[in-house]
Amino acid sequence: LLLPLTGCGSEDHLYYRYDYDLTEYITLAEYKNLPVEKVDFTVTEEEIQNQILSTVMYFAQDVEVDRASEKWDTVKFSCTAELDGTELPEYCEEEGSLKLGFPAYGEAVDKALTGVKAGDTVQADRVLSGMVSDEALAGKTIQYTFTVTAVCETEDPVYNDIFVKAYFGFDTVAEYEESVR
């Protein structure tokens, strides 16, 4: 086994050669005469198309826009979070983002960030559920102050032969789709 090790930004490579016989430490189980259940599975065209769409959407990019935020946009922000006058930095990100329509911070926050533009400051409250790490905070209300730094919309990639060649190594969409099938 040959492992290259490099330092950050370094061009020097160190190589360590491991040539150990570890068979005395490894025991493999015997798998003879185990019952096997055959499962028939049919993939539907809808499942194939959903897999392709999901994979293609992985390559979507957020593009900054100069307009008010809408559902499915990504709002980038810095924020503060307070509970009873005490700041809670662990409940907010200095450079955070939220995809509207997926209320990760709760419905009230999602609603407050809908319709904002870069430079806006908005406040919203969030009642913590019982799913918080500190049970003493369950049911308490956090007051957020968000300063919007950007509004971005998702730009979907063009799904064509060029795309599948660049990202998946197939010459055509048909070849890629057959591999998914």
Helix 173-180, helix 161-168: angle, nearest 10: 60
Phi, psi of 54 (to 5 degrees): -60, -45
pLDDT (0 to 100) of residue 11: 47
pLDDT (0 to 100) of residue 181: 85
pLDDT (0 to 100) of residue 29: 84
What does DSSP assign to residue 172?
S
pLDDT beneath 70, residues of the chain: 1-18, 130-134
pLDDT (0 to 100) of residue 76: 96
pLDDT (0 to 100) of residue 129: 74
Which residues, 6+ apart, have CB-to-CB distance to 146 below 8 Å?
A: 75, 77, 78, 79, 109, 112, 113, 116, 121, 122, 123, 124
Separation between Cα atoms, residue 92 and residue 56, nearest integer Å: 30
pLDDT (0 to 100) of residue 120: 97
pLDDT (0 to 100) of residue 4: 47
- Output the average pLDDT for the chain: 85
